[in-house]
Amino acid sequence: MRWLRPLILFGIGGFLYVLIELFTRGRSHWSMFLVGGMAFYLIGCINEYTRRDLAMRWQMAAGAIIITLLELIAGIIVNIILGWNVWDYSNLPGNLLGQICPQFTVLWFLLSAVAVYLDDWIRWLLWGEERPKYKF
**Are residues 27 and 20 in contact, defined by beta-carbon separation less than 8 angstroms?**
no
Q: What is the pTM of this model?
A: 0.94
- Euclidean distance between CA atoms 96 and 89, whole angstroms: 8
Report if residue 135 sits inside a domain.
Answer: no
Residue 121: predicted pLDDT: 95
Question: Is the residue at 132 inside a domain?
Answer: no
Total number of domains constituting the chain: 1
Q: Is residue 136 part of a domain?
A: no
> How far apart are alpha carbons 23 and 28 in whole angstroms?
9
Task: Provide the residue range defining the domain that includes 115.
Answer: 4-127
Residue 133 lies in a domain: no
Mean pLDDT by 10 residues, the chain (136 residues): 94 98 97 99 90 89 99 99 98 98 98 97 94 84
25 located within any domain: yes
pLDDT at position 12? 98
